[in-house]
Amino acid sequence: KEVELIEGHAMLDHVHLVMSVPPKYSIAMVVGYLKGKSAIHIHRKIHGMKKGFTGKHFWSRGYCVSTVGLDEEMIRAYVKDQEHLDKQEELDFTPDPDN
């Protein structure tokens, strides 16, 4: 209830989120909660499963966390533009045939 989603963008194989999390909650607990609830929702909506999620995995085990202070606007812009930036990097990448 006290965790605020400020910015978010879903990619094909990962998600970028900017969130405000009160210090009384551990980041691991918040991420675990989000992964668990979203996986159940996805299994129900997309796979039509009502129960029997034991042993099924949607998200990978890891995650990356960074704290934001004065650069919050820059981080929010990064999250918004990440898909475009990733596609641009793919276009700019030219393999070296000699390597």
Q: Is 79 helix (H, G, I), strand (E, B) or coil?
A: helix
- Please confirm, yes or no, whether 25 is among the known catalytic residues: no
User: Residue 11's closest CA among 90, 72, 91, 81?
Assistant: 81
Which of 25, 33, 63, 78 is catalytic? The answer is 78
Task: Cite the active site residues.
Answer: 78
